[in-house]
Amino acid sequence: MYDKEKWLRAADFHGHQCPGLAIGYKAVEAALAKRPTGAAQDEEIVCVTENDTCAADAVQALMGCTFGKGNLVYRPLGKMAFSFYFRESGERLRVCFKDENSQNLDRAAYIDYLLNAPVESLFTFSTPEAPCPERARHFASVACSQCGEKAREDKIRLKDGKPYCLACFDEYDR
């Protein structure tokens, strides 16, 4: 049986209840079953999400992994998969959704199915090949020569010795 209070907290953060959020909720449940812990206060838990779907909101709401803290990293691979890293213990877990039971279910029934199904029936589990991402860095800001807006120095490009933000830089892709 799923924790309704946690589910409602995730739904409140996300704005509504949907199958994608339920998948993320269960991915968090799977990670916490491996390493019972509270939400990350800083970067002690890191999640690499391979998608930018509703599911990532459950990770933010329930695990404390956020883009702002630097412990939620987006790798745009288009897979409904999450790699969880627990810095203190060195443990890591990749959780990948396997959509095998969604046929012939309406939205409400599918959400109910997802929330109540055992995580083993919803996901495949493996050890991520990639090591834990480094801790978030702080970068100086540099003003763009064209628009004047500041951008992180690691996102600045040089042209004729002048700094340009990515929006103003004319990328050479040949």
* Mean pLDDT computed over 94-112: 88
Give the model's confidence band at 101: pLDDT under 50 very low, under 70 low, under 90 confident, else very high.
Answer: low
CATH C-level class of 137-174 = alpha beta
Res 139: pLDDT = 94
Give the model's confidence band at 121: pLDDT under 50 very low, under 70 low, under 90 confident, else very high.
Answer: very high
Instruction: Tell me the pTM.
Output: 0.85
For residues 61 and 40, give the distance between their C-alpha atoms in angstroms, rounded to a whole number: 10
Please check the confidence at residue 38 and state whether its pLDDT lies above 80. Answer: no
Give the model's confidence band at 171: pLDDT under 50 very low, under 70 low, under 90 confident, else very high.
Answer: confident
Res 42: pLDDT = 78
CB 8 within 8 Å of CB 51: no
Query: DSSP for 56-105?
Result: HHHHHHHH---TTTT-EEE-----SEEEEEETTTTEEEEEEE---S-TT-
For domain 4-126, which CATH number applies: 3.40.50.720, 3.30.1330.130, 3.20.20.70, 3.30.420.40? 3.30.1330.130
Least confident of 28-37, 88-97, 122-131: 28-37
Burial of residue 129 (CB within 10 Å: 0-12, 13-18, 19+) is exposed
Please check the confidence at residue 44 and state whether its pLDDT lies above 90. Answer: no
Q: Where along the chain do its domains lie? A: 4-126, 137-174
4-126 and 137-174, same CATH topology: no
